[in-house]
A and B are shown apart, each in its own frame.
Chain A
């Protein structure tokens, strides 16, 4: 299972990075979303992978670390909000400039 999760994170990260490097807003936003998925799974795995155990520190002999789940929850909420914000700003920039490139359009202020 470790191999599967690790490869999943790797594939997601690679795909995300590739899309981020496309420098057009839509692929870049998709890429950052993939990266946040990758990082969420990574955070989740950082408390070790345990199957079928409750995330509660109680009398049970086996338990899974509850803290990463709280961290992932926060990270998901934040990345969700961030994605919404960047979509709105990128849409505004596209509608204003009629261009969806992320980098600077032209060498500004030629002499």
Chain B
């Protein structure tokens, strides 16, 4: 049994502990350890993805216990794709945090960052539903700390909301898990897939309840309307690198929906018939509309990006809710795209705010040296986010439209996707021109204090940051470059996404690998081997 697939969880845990115990007062050591560790994680996840790319499902049995009884980690194409995406986002974000000095504003930024990576990577790798809950909690606890990193009234208030909302979500998750366990007697996903399929039409009530609860929980994580209320202020108030890392957290919800609703409750399952298309698609389309209208209505750049995240999650969920091979592969392409684009946008917003020194209402714009570079980066990221050609958002939306073609509700999908693209374009164009063009005519000394702006006790002006950091620019540039690569290699990437969705929709190999790999329980020396009939 190769031990590589557990390293993405163990390595950040060790690094975080090391940072807390040995390097809590030494920012330089923290930076080296944290950046180095994340780079190693990126290489490792690429290697794992390479291993999984031919369809191999790698199983890791924790404590060598066999599957339905012990917890297992499963690395298949989808998991490793998400691993690579996480690390590819985390590395530039971390570099940005180092370059802009965000990480030095509190003692525990790097430790929390590593713990958050551990939670995210673990959630992608685990093959057990309860373990998924535990990793959700790990990533949430770390995100609470990161969210209120560097303090401030607004951040603490938004943090309280964020924690409470997620606490309720966790409670719901446990209810769902209890219902599922009561019905099937297992929480291993591969085992659940088999047992749920065996349940006859007379026993579907409990399973339907469990499926709906699970969908609700993951929809909270994915910020699907009407469960999106936590997102705008949380993301807008969080420190920029944290918000950029959070771009992957909504995707954890999308990943969980893809995983659970292709493996445990596949579209053809009688017990949950009607759940997939009938409910998910309208909600996803409403999410797109709400997000893009929010983009138009937002008066601050950070809230604008937060609403763009809601819109792009709606777009992902639209593609997922088709539950066809084409739909899921379009969703995967868009997941990669929107994660990178949202991360880049959050960082650019911080560059804008840092360049101005004052807060980020579009009204008081004072561009400084380097605003041209910032404007170019904002322009590129906004083009990608809105879905204009030539960047990957355009290709992603084309794939989604193509997947919806000929399906019931296709008219709505086309109308909403195309209509909201226009709305979002107007929103971004307005914000961009207000921030980068109108400000040209104004000199810093001429700008009066805006009487309408909320007075903050600890305005960012109190700690004026130095000129835009070169490393910060490089980090955002990395993300934009990744977007360009994502566009240039759209052909191979969509081919890979097709392979992923084929593997997801025919999970026989996944189930067989998880359940039929012998572990310690199958040791012939054991006194009694529990069998299926024991329940």
Contacts and interface: CB of A to CB of B under 8 A. Distances in A.
Interface string B20-61: 000000000000000000000000000000000000000000
Interface in A77-99: 78-79, 81-83, 85-86, 89-90, 92-93, 96-97
Contact of B157 (A20, A32, A93, A111): A93
A90 B162 CA distance: 11
Contacts of B179: 46
A110 interface: yes
A102 B141 contact: no
Contacts of B534: 57
B300 A109 contact: yes
Given A46-B181, A86-B160, A96-B152, 17 more contacts: A36-B171, A42-B175, A43-B177, A45-B178, A45-B182, A67-B181, A78-B170, A79-B171, A81-B141, A82-B167, A85-B144, A93-B157, A104-B161, A108-B454, A109-B453, A110-B452, A111-B452
Interface string A69-80: 001001100110
A102 B156 contact: no
Interface string A18-36: 0010000100110010011
A108 B534 CA distance: 59
Contacts of A39: 171, 174-175, 178
Interface centre among A43, A89, A93, A96 (most CB of B within 10 A): A89
A46 B178 contact: yes
B63 interface: no
Given A85-B163, A89-B144, A109-B454, A71 B177 contact: yes
Contact of A89 (B163, B299, B453): B163
Interface centre among B152, B174, B454 (most CB of A within 10 A): B174
A47 interface: yes
Interface of B: 130, 134, 137, 141, 144, 148, 151-153, 156-157, 159-161, 163-164, 167-168, 170-171, 174-175, 177-179, 181-182, 185, 187, 233, 299-300, 361, 452-454, 457, 530, 534
A68 B530 CA distance: 17
Contacts of B452: 109-111
A80 to B, nearest CB: 11
B159 A93 contact: yes
Nearest to B360: A109
Contacts of A28: 164
Interface of A: 20, 25, 28-29, 32, 35-36, 38-40, 42-43, 45-48, 57, 65, 67-68, 71, 74-75, 78-79, 81-83, 85-86, 89-90, 92-93, 96-97, 102-105, 108-111
A25 B160 contact: yes
A96 B155 CA distance: 10
A75 B299 CA distance: 41
Contact of B156 (A36, A82, A89): A89
B156 A96 contact: yes
A110 B452 CA distance: 7
A68 B181 CA distance: 9
B171 A86 contact: no
B171 A35 contact: yes
A96 B168 contact: no
30 contacts: A32-B167, A36-B167, A36-B174, A39-B174, A39-B178, A45-B182, A47-B181, A48-B182, A57-B534, A68-B181, A71-B130, A78-B134, A78-B170, A79-B167, A82-B167, A85-B144, A86-B163, A86-B164, A86-B167, A89-B144, A89-B163, A93-B153, A93-B159, A96-B156, A96-B157, A97-B153, A108-B300, A109-B299, A109-B453, A111-B299
A49 B28 CA distance: 55
B377 to A, nearest CB: 24
A42 B178 contact: yes
Given A71-B130, A109-B361, A92 B156 contact: yes
A89 B148 contact: yes
Contact of B178 (A36, A43, A79, A85): A43
A104 B234 CA distance: 11
A103 B233 CA distance: 10
Contacts of B361: 109
Nearest to B179: A46
A1 B159 CA distance: 41
A89 B167 CA distance: 13
B141 A85 contact: yes
A79 B170 contact: yes
Contacts of B152: 96
Contacts of B454: 108-109
B164 A102 contact: yes
Interface centre among B161, B179, B185, B453 (most CB of A within 10 A): B161
B301 to A, nearest CB: 11
Contact of A74 (B134, B141, B151, B159): B134
